Amino acid sequence: MLIADVERYLSLRQTLGYKLRDASRNLRSFARVAADSGDTHILASTALDWCRAVLNP
């Protein structure tokens, strides 16, 4: 669900002329992590876990 929402959001923004190169990569990465965790909504705990993983690979 989150992955589809991210794709719709990115498609809309790109249609409006935004490039979103780094943002699209990060949003897709977070959506994959959230989906793998079974989240259907954005959770602060998942966002923090994702940030830690991105900042400390």
Q: pLDDT tens, position by position, for the chain (57 residues)?
A: 899 999 999 999 999 999 998 899 999 999 999 999 999 999 999 999 999 999 887
* Confidence at residue 56, expressed as pLDDT on a 0 to 100 scale: 87
Residue 49 backbone dihedrals phi, psi, to 5 degrees: -60, -40
Helices 21-36/44-55 angle, 10° precision: 120
Domain count for the chain: 1
**Residue 49's pLDDT is what?**
94
In Å, how far are 14, 49, 53 from 56, measured between CA atoms? 30, 10, 5
Q: Provide the CB-side half-sphere exposure for 49 (13 A, CA).
A: 13
Containing structural domain, residue 49:
2-55
What global pTM score does this model have?
A: 0.84
Calculated CA dihedral for residues 54, 1, 35, 41, nearest 10 degrees: 70
